[in-house]
Amino acid sequence: MSRDELVGVARGEVPADLVITNGRLVNVYSGEIYSASLAIRGDRIAAIGDVGYTVGAETELIDAGGHYLCPGLIDGHIHLGGSQLSMTEFARAVVPHGTTAISTDFYEIGVVAGRKAIRFALEELKATPIKVLFNIPPHAYLGHGALGNTNSISTEDVFEMLGWPECTGLAEWNVFVASIPAPGVRELTETAREKRMLLGGHFGDVSSAMANATAAIGIYSEHEAMSAEEALDRLRLGVHIQAREGSAGRDLRHVVKAITELGVDSRHFSYSTDEQEADSLVLDGHVDHKIRTAIRCGVSPMTAIQMATINAAEYFRISDDMGSVGPGKIADILLVDDLAEFNVTQVIANGKVVARDGKYVGEPKTPAYPGYFYNTIKIAGVTVPEDFAVKSPASSDGTASVRVIGVNEGSLVTEDRHFDLPVRGGNVQPDPGRDILKIAILDRYEASGRIGKAFVQGFRIKAGAIGSSFNPGQMNLMVAGTNDRDMSVVANRIAELGGGYVVARDGKILGELPLPLLGLFAEEPAERVVERLQGINQAIATELGSDFPGLHTSVAFVCLAVSIPTLKVCDRGLADVRVMEIVDMFL
């Protein structure tokens, strides 16, 4: 879009392509709401206010009918792997909810298939109405060794990606990560800082001294705050808070109390998703859902909308392009019929109508995926139940004292819990009566037959097994269940599908979602993915007995052996994140 044409429209010398009349402008820049019209030329806004003079013979007119006009919504931190949707289908799912920009890393893709696959996905997403703020979480690729990396991406790759025009900087960064003794990690931090790129943070539950240290190296955002107090502590250090609301980390309701109860300046708050499952994205919503949640928690609609727009845009230093509705900005505009309910009725992105009444307009074209996106689950042949046995060190019947991964609903932080578990035939048994499952991680890259095993408490599964090929860290093949037979059935079926989510009980598959693209993404449309997830979740609820919300994401994060405390599991066995080591499960 030539700026000359914008100037021409503003001066009444060139007609607008699109004029939206009769709207109530939510001006997040001035903090006001007032009646206004907008003139758009190409992909940008040319003028706001009384713009009748910009209408020409060819100008398309949209009567907003008194609806609110809001800027497009920005997700400050999302990993797309958790959605099970291809890039195209992700866009088709969230654009009708008003999302027009996301900050994301494609790291699951990078972990499985390297830099070229990230580039492919980035191009796929860029072909949709969504603007991509690309960031790099180097620790996902470097320096964690066998517990956390797949060696799919080298230091050179990371430096290369840092130079991509879409790249805003590094992410998930903190003092621990910045001091990983991997080649290039120190230089990465310095290079990003010199280029004035953003160092996105992942503070976690750290001491005041460590939080100060993390801010001192220049990390000025945090999406891991889980309470108002934690948010306040970071905020006081000059750290922008991305309040998280995803399938497993549902921190927003707590974090916004810093605004509603502690009364701090709200401008340095925005939203993040981290991970959100497809059914929730489609049915609950995406950033619009976070706005509604914030408003329900007592945040004013203006502030809740500013968090999703201008606050995020100013943090990412892209406020000259997006985050508000004004001349010169990209024409990403939502029509919203009620501010408190934040019901998006129409979405304009890059100056074009892309969604109406919750439906995507037109059919986005899914690209032909390269061959290396398929058949990526490589395990050592078909498993048998015995592969999942956990031998007791005493090798006799009775009980064994075991360190168990303790899970709490709504949090990604696990606990180090200790239980005496029953031993039968020399094998330690899960104990569904005390909500303790067995969990196993199978190497999917080298067909090595390597299986790491542990016990986990808290998922409320009473029978059968679940499994998936999506789990942060290494994206290995994970199964969890009450018995080895169902775990083996699930593992074999996931391998057969080339990736997916599978639920089984009594040797029978009860539901499945094939994820043939890198073992991470469905090839089916979002609606079908949602149906399958609903089928799976129904089976888990009725046949496996669990009502744990965000179950898939929560189980997946138990496999992230190098980040977010405390006990985790990977294909090498039980891991303690505090020491970044494999530990003995037996006490």
Q: Which of 21, 27, 350, 471 binds a copy of itself (CB under 8 A)?
A: 27
User: Distances from the Cα of 427 to the Cαs of 13, 391, 582, in angstroms?
Assistant: 82, 4, 20
Sole window of 57-65, 189-197, 433-441, 576-584 interacting with a copy of itself (rule: CB under 8 A): 189-197
Secondary structure, 3-state, 8-45: HHHCCCCCCCEEEEEEEEEECCCCEEEEEEEEEECCEE
Distance of CA 208 to the CA centre of its chain: 27
Q: Does 12 bind a copy of itself (CB under 8 A)?
A: yes
Radius of gyration of the chain (CA): 24
Q: Does 385 bind a copy of itself (CB under 8 A)?
A: no
Listed residue (195, 258, 247, 203) closest to 225, CA to CA: 203
Q: What part of residues 455-494 is at the interface with a copy of itself (CB under 8 A)?
A: none
Extract the tokens encoding 87: 């890039």
Q: Which of 47, 225, 491, 530 binds a copy of itself (CB under 8 A)?
A: 47
Q: Does 184 bind a copy of itself (CB under 8 A)?
A: no
Rounded least distance, CB 217 to a copy of itself, Å: 5
Using the minimum distance from each CB to a copy of itself, give the nearer residue, 26 or 477.
26
Q: Which of 329, 403, 453, 532 binds a copy of itself (CB under 8 A)?
A: 329
Using the minimum distance from each CB to a copy of itself, give the nearer residue, 264 or 380.
264
CB atoms within 10 A of CB 33: 18
Beta bridge partners of 336: 68, 344
d(CA 174, CA 577) in angstroms, rounded, equals 15
User: Distances from the Cα of 43 to the Cαs of 2, 87, 262, in angstroms?
Assistant: 10, 22, 40
Strand, coil or helix: what is 170? strand
Rounded least distance, CB 558 to a copy of itself, Å: 30
Q: Does 578 bind a copy of itself (CB under 8 A)?
A: no
Dmax (CA) of the chain = 89
Pairing of strands 198-201, 167-173: parallel
Q: Which of 59, 60, 155, 327 binds a copy of itself (CB under 8 A)?
A: 327
Q: What part of residues 514-573 is at the interface with a copy of itself (CB under 8 A)?
A: none
Using the minimum distance from each CB to a copy of itself, give the nearer residue, 11 or 578.
11
Using the minimum distance from each CB to a copy of itself, give the nearer residue, 7 or 361.
7
Rounded least distance, CB 461 to a copy of itself, Å: 41
User: Distances from the Cα of 153 to the Cαs of 109, 171, 174, 354, 469, in angstroms?
Assistant: 11, 16, 20, 35, 19
Sole window of 48-56, 282-290, 379-387, 496-504 interacting with a copy of itself (rule: CB under 8 A): 48-56
CB 69 within 8 A of CB 49: no
Strand, coil or helix: what is 462? coil
Contact map string, positions 227 to 256, toward a copy of itself, x by CB under 8 A:
-----x--xxxxx-----------------
Q: Does 3 bind a copy of itself (CB under 8 A)?
A: yes
d(CA 259, CA 266) in angstroms, rounded, equals 6
Rounded least distance, CB 524 to a copy of itself, Å: 40
Rounded least distance, CB 229 to a copy of itself, Å: 13
Rounded least distance, CB 375 to a copy of itself, Å: 42
Extract the tokens encoding 579: 């020491």
Tell me how many residues contact a copy of itself (CB under 8 A): 55
Extract the tokens encoding 157: 């790759």
Contact map string, positions 262 to 291, toward a copy of itself, x by CB under 8 A:
-xxx-xx-----------------------
Contact map string, positions 211 to 230, toward a copy of itself, x by CB under 8 A:
-xx-xxxx-x----------
Starting at the edge strand found earlier in the chain, the sheet holding 398-406 runs 427-428, 415-424, 398-406, 451-457, 436-442, 477-481, 465-468, 500-505, 508-514
**Which stretches of the chain bind a copy of itself, using CB under 8 A?**
3, 6-7, 9-12, 27, 29-32, 44-50, 53, 175, 189, 193, 196, 208-210, 212-213, 215-218, 220, 232, 235-239, 263-265, 267-268, 314, 317, 319-320, 324-329
